[in-house]
Structure 1
């Protein structure tokens, strides 16, 4: 069986650090072309635009999108119009309407699509799913705090309208929580801290409830120290499981547990290959919907200007 010929749109930090290594380590894929306005990806043909790649590049079966969410909708539409399978980095679009439209367009195109909530593929998430079976969950506590200057240096788009600010990393935590808790989650309150010179929040505190009335409390901070805190605690009547380092580490009642050695992005691309083989799609919108609801119901406090 021939590998899936893959094109990549956008070659920034996340593509260089995560996507390309995962693609090249997976024999189910062959990276054949990259569309980028920045540095070129070595070892493949590089093009200045997706349109140029599709018109003049090598044949591709699928395209992965690593551009900022603003403007991504039209690019994914180009790929779907060309009949390509699509993998779309999180958040898939800058609005719910665009993302909802892509779900319909993927189906109409008869291709496979993946909204790439990569944190769902953290090794400890599978442990958590297994642990929750037969247990009565009472509360979920989330602390997701990192330093934007370290993880998004020079990326002004993240502070613009549609850039999500602290919800860019915070949505990773929400993608895990929505994967673990069945049914819909509802934002009951949100407090958003927005720098005086930005359009998007630098911190947020959320209160969420599940259909089963489980309380989810989340604290997000984008101006934390260099020591990241990516933690989710699952409190049940039978004990407590904690996911640390974004789900890479797991403990139950303080006792460390073993997890898979496969990383998030390799597992995500393995999932994408299986979706293509099965002619299926995975286009969940609940993490983005929770962020949208947080903006909708949230109180906003103006805080000191952000300077890199």
Structure 2
């Protein structure tokens, strides 16, 4: 089977740390070209724009997008018009309207698309899916706290309108929970803390519900200590499962469990390859919808200015 020839748009921190290593480790994909305005990716041709890559670069079958969500819609649309399969890093766009339009355009183009909620591919999520079978879930507790200066240094777009602020990492937790819950998740209330010099929140507290009986609470913080906390607790009548380290670690009633050794980005690219093989797409928007609802119903509190 010939490898899928992949182009990459955007070569920032997430592409360098996660996408490129996962692509190189895959036997299904071959990275053949990169479009970037910043640091150049070694070992492959680099282009200053997607248009230049498509016009002058080597042939590609699929394109992965790692640019900020603002302005991403037009880039993905360009790739779809060229008949390319697309993988779109989370969040797929800066608005629900753009993301919904992309779903229609993927379907119209007859290609495969993946909105890449990478945290759903954390190894512990598979454990949680199996453990929840036949159990009565009552409450979910999310604590998603990290230091933005460590994980997103110098990335001013996060604080601009559409950059999502604390929801940029927090949406990872929401992507896991929406994968695990059997019914839709709704935001009942949200408190958003917005620095006086920013347009996006640096912290948020959410009260949510799924169905009639499952209460979901989330505490999100983007100015936490350097010791990040990415945890989700699943409370059932039969016990408590806890996912830590973003879903890489699992315990049940305090007892550590074994998990797969496959990382989330390699697993995600494996999923993308299978979608292409099957002529299917995976374009779920529930995590982004919950963020949009949080902004819609949330109360906003102005807090101290944020400086790196």
Equivalent in the alignment of 1:289: 289
Equivalent in the alignment of 1:23: 23
Q: CA RMSD in A?
A: 0.4
Q: Could you list the per-position Cα deviations for residues 118-150 of structure 1 after superposition, in whole angstroms to 9, with x for gaps in the alignment?
A: 000000000000000010000000000000000
Q: Could you list the per-position Cα deviations for residues 214-260 of structure 1 after superposition, in whole angstroms to 9, with x for gaps in the alignment?
A: 00000000000000000000000000000000000000000000000
For 2:213 and 2:134, locate their aligned partners in 1 and report how far apart those are by CA, in whole Å.
17
Equivalent in the alignment of 1:127: 127
For 2:106 and 2:211, locate their aligned partners in 1 and report how far apart those are by CA, in whole Å.
29
Equivalent in the alignment of 2:243: 243
For 2:38 and 2:264, locate their aligned partners in 1 and report how far apart those are by CA, in whole Å.
25
Where does the alignment leave 5 or more consecutive residues of structure 2 unmatched?
Answer: none
Shift of 1:182: 1.5
Shift of 1:95: 0.1
Matched, 1:196 2:192: no
Residue-pair matches, total = 308
Q: Please give the residue correspondences for 1:64-75 in structure 2 after superposition, counting only pairs within 5 Å.
A: 64-75=64-75
Equivalent in the alignment of 1:36: 36
Equivalent in the alignment of 1:263: 263
Equivalent in the alignment of 1:224: 224
Where does the alignment leave 5 or more consecutive residues of structure 1 unmatched?
Answer: none
Q: Please give the residue correspondences for 1:155-194 in structure 2 after superposition, counting only pairs within 5 Å.
A: 155-194=155-194
SS of alignment partner, residue 106 of structure 2: helix
Q: Could you list the per-position Cα deviations for residues 89-118 of structure 1 after superposition, in whole angstroms to 9, with x for gaps in the alignment?
A: 000000000000000000000000000000
For 2:55 and 2:116, locate their aligned partners in 1 and report how far apart those are by CA, in whole Å.
26
SS of alignment partner, residue 34 of structure 2: strand
For 1:106 and 1:212, locate their aligned partners in 2 and report how far apart those are by CA, in whole Å.
35
SS of alignment partner, residue 243 of structure 2: strand
For 1:302 and 1:212, locate their aligned partners in 2 and report how far apart those are by CA, in whole Å.
33
Equivalent in the alignment of 1:48: 48
Equivalent in the alignment of 1:59: 59
Shift of 1:212: 4.2
For 2:212 and 2:72, locate their aligned partners in 1 and report how far apart those are by CA, in whole Å.
35
Runs of 4+ in 1 over 4 A off after TM superposition: none
Q: Please give the residue correspondences for 1:57-136 in structure 2 after superposition, counting only pairs within 5 Å.
A: 57-136=57-136
TM normalised by structure 1 equals 1.00
Shift of 1:183: 2.2
Shift of 1:211: 2.0
Q: Could you list the per-position Cα deviations for residues 143-168 of structure 1 after superposition, in whole angstroms to 9, with x for gaps in the alignment?
A: 00000000000000000000000000
For 1:27 and 1:54, locate their aligned partners in 2 and report how far apart those are by CA, in whole Å.
23
